[in-house]
Structure 1
Amino acid sequence: MSLDALPSPSLNLALICKLNLSNNNLQEIPESLTARLLNVVVLDVHSNQLRSLPNSIGCLSKLKLLNVSGNLIEFLPKTIENCRALEELNANFNKLTVLPDTIGFELINLKKLSVNSNKLVVLPRSTSYLTALRVLDARLNCLRALPEDLENLVNLETLNVSQNFQYLETLPYSIGLLLNLVELDVSYNKIKALPDSIGCLKKLMKISVEGNPLVSPPPEVVEQGEYAVKEYLCEKMNSAHQSPPKKKSSWVGKLVKYGTFGARRKEREEREGFIMHEQYRAIAGLATPRHVSMFSPKRLFSPRRYS
């Protein structure tokens, strides 16, 4: 309707369950209006000119779907964490540079988080606490890294972090612990090596890696498709775990080698061209088992006198 501002409605706003204000020219939503939408379940304000959301949005305790895509929003209010019934948040095509640091600690029912086509540099660490999350779409941003402990996203089925272009260079090992992951899109980034752990993802049906300078797996493997990529990574991981550990040298062996406790010290000295001066031989002999007991704390501090 090309609305620049909202009229003052005569009806009781507490009766509204779904409010669609999309495709207008709204630059703000009044705090007083949002605070009265106590029973709203769906709020759609996409394709407006909004630069921010009112703090009173935290009053929407029954809100399940929030669509603020296609606006000019630079940040989400921290109070959005109070919308604990929220199941879907669509903030695509905005100017977001950050998300609230603790967003993942409170939105425990969130199933879909769409923040593509923004200017996000990182996803907050709390994102990994969104245990109900099934879809995470963060493509077309400026992401430089993903949270390390992604394994907490036990229900995640779709992860899209494609087209972060020159920014995203690595993926965390924990990405291979997303046991319910079905679709993974990391295309058009600067990733050189995929984590070997991806080979463990039995439910993974689609993996997109084109547009990366991949070395592991090599291009010839990538060309063979998803199955070949998973098999390559799985074999690489298994071979790494099966390689025998390096045998550690024993310090006792070194003592024996250098004759500390051996009776053939003189032969070794002559063989290596090392001759110990006679005045030090007696001192060296004190280190033999025969004399060690003379220097034990029990003997030194005993009231008995030794001649």
Structure 2
Amino acid sequence: MLLSFSSYNLPKMEEVRKAAEEKRRELVLSGQATSKFIEENGLDDEIFQLTCLNYLSISKTCLKQLSPKFGNLVNLTNLVLHNNQLTALPEEIQALTKLKFFDVSNNQIEEMPLSISNLSELESLNVSVNKLGSFPPVNAMKSLHIFNVAHNCLQELPEGIFDPSLVHLSNIVAGNNEIEKLSPDVTNLPHLNQLDLSNNRLKEVPAELSECPKLKELNLKGNKFSDRRFGKLVEQCPTKSVMEYLSNILKKERAKNPDKKGKGKSKEKKKGPKSVQDDVEFLTDAIDVLHFPDEDGLIVSVTPAVIDVRPYIVCCIVRNLDLQKTANTFKQFITLQTKLHDTLCNKRQAATIATHDLSSVKGPLKFDAQFPSLLMIVPLSKQKEVSGEKLVDDLMKEAEQLRREKKRSTVSGIHKYLDLLANKTQYPCLGDAAGTVISFPPITNSNSTKISKETTSILIEVTSSTNLDTCKTVCDELLVKMLEMGLGKDTADEASSSAGHKTLTVEQVKVTDVEGNLRVVYPSRTDLSKPGITVNRNYD
């Protein structure tokens, strides 16, 4: 590869140099070192000569603008530019015709270039957390599956968003904007599965919304609806009840006006369960919080050693679970934890979740920090005990081997969390009464407390180096999602002799210091304040 003398004498990014030498298909630039380089020298121009790249990620930097040369990277299929300081995108972005995944979230972009409409192969577009007041037409994006414009300043959804040709569009996330109206044309999207318009300025929604055949997740919370009854339903009840309410309204509207435009004016839907009536009582799912049992309650003590390493932890116990409710229930629960790690936990940067089979946990527990060579654990899905030092060394070697084999600068799975232990002289760990390490956050649990389909009671552990509120927020969300998955016990509705709602049984766990002084008990009276969920606090 030939370089001019002027470019040859400019400082080069080490990762860019390696990517060029090894002809990598992937390049990841992130963090303080990258940000400092960009601040002092700008983005390395050699990046734009790496035309074989199909994955490029530049994140968590001070990058404020993109060169028009980005259009040279015509083979990109994945472009990640989140958490920078970008204020605009170049029109040349339209040259990236192979782009399938584009994430430019968490920047300061006020206007998108019109040329973005030409990215017809785009499947996932995330422009959330910017300053957009409008968005170009999207009807030409025929391959679009996911469209995320949350946390902007949009007053309306983009033109063409409900074009019938967008047959793949399944997720529209537009919460926390200033949207005032939703078009009845939303029914044109045959595969719409998720619609999030929470915290906007909607006063009403079209009753035709009930005719979206695959809509399973509808979030309209935080809007001030003129129909106060509908507003209460939105805040307290699941999507199914909201859709049934809208369906009833639509039937009444069509009965009064047979010529009302809309699908189904000559065809009625097949009869199903009884719809929500005007005299409906709003049943809500519930979490029963059992007070900490004074005599045999589970206590976790936090040692001084771990305070400097990973000081925050909350735990709770969930009882009476049925992880065999369906063939996929257990797998869905594991997937839920993975999803939370990638989203709310910010790829384990903010917090880490661990779940243990309670029957294998011997309390009281100790949250401690040990030197890597002394920390011994049987990693998840392994049979042999290893030291923390060897485990991390082996994982680093595996990660490097994978990079070389796949010619990538990124790794997946557990390997992507190794940097969280960089420069740590001691590793955090949770041990049981026998001194056995059952958790080594943020890397792995112990195989000795691994949950299975047969598990009926679990210990949830959330740890963080950020703050206690982060632990609580993550634990709150996990419990709510477990309830939404149907892992709670069915509570019959006596009036209708059918399943009315579900109840998740959660028992408090105390966290203390080594002297027995209380640090936190979870869930407390201030936790689990979620709309649509009743929390029964069974305290003395």
Taking structure 1 as the reference length, what is the TM-score of the superposition?
0.71
Q: Deviations over 1:21-70 (max 9, x none)?
A: 1112124324x423311100110111111001111111111101111111
State the match for 2:197 in structure 1: 186
User: Cα–Cα, structure 1 residues 244 and 137, in superposed 2: closer, same or farther, change >3 Å?
Assistant: closer
Which of residues 125, 135, 140 is equivalent to 1:129? Answer: 140
State the match for 1:239 in structure 2: 252
State the match for 1:147 in structure 2: 158
Residue 242 of structure 1 deviates from its aligned partner by: 3.9
State the match for 2:56 in structure 1: 43
Which of residues 30, 35, 40 is equivalent to 1:22? Answer: 30
Residue 137 of structure 1 deviates from its aligned partner by: 1.0
Residue 5 of structure 1 deviates from its aligned partner by: 6.4
- In the alignment, is the contact (CA less than 8 A) between 1:86 and 1:110 conserved in 2? yes
- Residues 1:207 and 2:218 aligned together: yes
What SS does the aligned partner of 1:9 have? Answer: helix
**RMSD (Å), alpha carbons:** 2.3
User: Cα–Cα, structure 1 residues 242 and 69, in superposed 2: closer, same or farther, change >3 Å?
Assistant: same
User: Cα–Cα, structure 1 residues 9 and 242, in superposed 2: closer, same or farther, change >3 Å?
Assistant: same
Distance 1:197 1:241 in 2: 11
Q: Deviations over 1:129-187 (max 9, x none)?
A: 212111111111111111243223221111111111xx222122222322211111111
Q: Which runs of 4+ in 1 moved over 6 A?
A: none
- Residues 1:99 and 2:107 aligned together: no
Residue 20 of structure 1 deviates from its aligned partner by: 1.0
- Residues 1:118 and 2:134 aligned together: no
Percent of aligned positions that are identical: 24
Q: Which has the larger radius of gyration?
A: 1
- In the alignment, is the contact (CA less than 8 A) between 1:177 and 1:197 conserved in 2? no
Greater relative contact order structure (CA < 8 Å, 6+ sep): 2
Residue 122 of structure 1 deviates from its aligned partner by: 1.0
More strand by share: 2
Which of residues 87, 91, 107 is equivalent to 1:74? Answer: 87
- Aligned partner letter, 2:182: L
- In the alignment, is the contact (CA less than 8 A) between 1:196 and 1:236 conserved in 2? yes
State the match for 2:335 in structure 1: none
User: Cα–Cα, structure 1 residues 79 and 196, in superposed 2: closer, same or farther, change >3 Å?
Assistant: same
Distance 2:257 2:224 in 1: 31
- In the alignment, is the contact (CA less than 8 A) between 2:20 and 2:50 conserved in 1? no
- In the alignment, is the contact (CA less than 8 A) between 1:14 and 1:38 conserved in 2? no
Alignment of 1:250-261 (within 5 A): none
Q: Which runs of 5+ in 1 are unaligned?
A: 247-307
Residue 195 of structure 1 deviates from its aligned partner by: 2.0
Residue 244 of structure 1 deviates from its aligned partner by: 4.5
- In the alignment, is the contact (CA less than 8 A) between 2:187 and 2:211 conserved in 1? yes
Q: Deviations over 1:203-247 (max 9, x none)?
A: 11111111110135722432332112212222333433343579x
Q: Which runs of 5+ in 2 are unaligned?
A: 1-10, 260-540
- Residues 1:170 and 2:181 aligned together: yes
State the match for 2:351 in structure 1: none
State the match for 1:9 in structure 2: 17
Residue 202 of structure 1 deviates from its aligned partner by: 1.5
- Aligned partner letter, 1:201: C
Taking structure 2 as the reference length, what is the TM-score of the superposition?
0.42
User: Cα–Cα, structure 1 residues 185 and 245, in superposed 2: closer, same or farther, change >3 Å?
Assistant: closer
